[in-house]
């Protein structure tokens, strides 16, 4: 008797696990537009509990070249004020290097910093402006250095 109860329970569990119900798909999007997670659960015929995570690339922020000496490969690049991720800044600067092949490029979000990034030495007040609005620079056409609010990020080699 005991064996038959166990056998019936095992068959019932097996039947429930193999039922041909609708496949459920769950998509979750976070506030971070870079990460999209998709979980798919399939029943019958496929693998149960498959999970796929996709990192979708985002478009880099729009920019404008507002100063510099293009003959020497030096540019000052202005983006709209806002909060950007490391990946946003990296995508923008990698694309900029690919399109313009700069020796030096300065990324800012305020025209107040436009001329300051080109100066060798700055006052304390000018440095405060740079600390708030100077996000990154390309050095020697190959190295992306993060500055100001992003100064805690490690430099990245991006050129060839």
Q: Are residues 81 and 110 in the same domain?
A: yes
Q: Are residues 133 and 83 in the same domain?
A: yes
Q: Do the domain assignments include residue 8?
A: no
Q: Are residues 89 and 124 in the same domain?
A: yes
Give exposure, 21-48, as e/b (b: 16+ Cβ within 10 Å). Answer: eeeeeeeeeeeeeeeeeeeeeebeeeee
Mean pLDDT, the chain, rounded, equals 77
Q: Which of 20-24, 34-38, 155-159 is predicted least confidently?
A: 34-38
Average pLDDT over residues 19-41: 41
Average pLDDT over residues 16-30: 46
Q: pLDDT per residue over 59-107, tens digit each? A: 788 999 999 888 889 999 999 998 899 999 999 999 999 999 999 999 9
Q: Are residues 73 and 151 in the same domain?
A: yes
* Residue-range definition of the domain harbouring residue 25: 20-57
pLDDT of amino acid 123: 96
pLDDT of amino acid 26: 37
pLDDT band at 7 (very low <50, low <70, confident <90, very high): low
Q: Which residue has the higher pLDDT, 49 or 9?
A: 9
pLDDT surpassing 50 at residue 155: yes
**Count: domains in the chain:** 2
Query: What does the chain come to in residues?
Result: 160
Q: pLDDT per residue over 113-142, tens digit each? A: 999 999 989 999 999 999 999 999 999 999
Q: Are residues 69 and 138 in the same domain?
A: yes
Q: Which residue has the higher pLDDT, 18 or 42?
A: 18
pLDDT surpassing 60 at residue 159: yes
Q: CA-to-CA distance for 41 and 8, rounded, in angstroms?
A: 26
Torsion of Cα atoms, 56 then 59 then 80 then 139, to 10°: 100
Q: Are residues 84 and 30 in the same domain?
A: no
Q: Are residues 130 and 105 in the same domain?
A: yes
């Amino acid at each position: 008797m005991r064996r038959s109860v166990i056998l019936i329970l095992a068959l019932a569990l097996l039947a429930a696990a193999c039922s041909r119900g609708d496949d459920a798909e769950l998509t979750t999007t976070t506030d971070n537009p870079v990460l999209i997670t998709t979980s798919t659960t399939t029943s019958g015929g496929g693998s149960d509990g498959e999970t796929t995570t996709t990192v979708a690339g985002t478009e880099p922020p729009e920019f404008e070249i507002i100063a510099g000496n293009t003959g020497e490969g030096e540019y000052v690049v202005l983006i709209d004020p806002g909060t950007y991720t490391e990946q946003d800044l990296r995508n923008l600067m990698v694309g900029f290097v690919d399109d313009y092949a700069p020796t030096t490029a300065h990324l800012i979000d305020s025209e107040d910093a436009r001329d300051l990034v080109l100066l060798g030495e700055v006052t304390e007040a000018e440095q405060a402006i740079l600390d708030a609005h100077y996000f990154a620079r390309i050095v020697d056409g190959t190295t992306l250095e993060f500055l100001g609010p992003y100064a805690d990020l490690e430099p990245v080699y991006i050129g060839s």
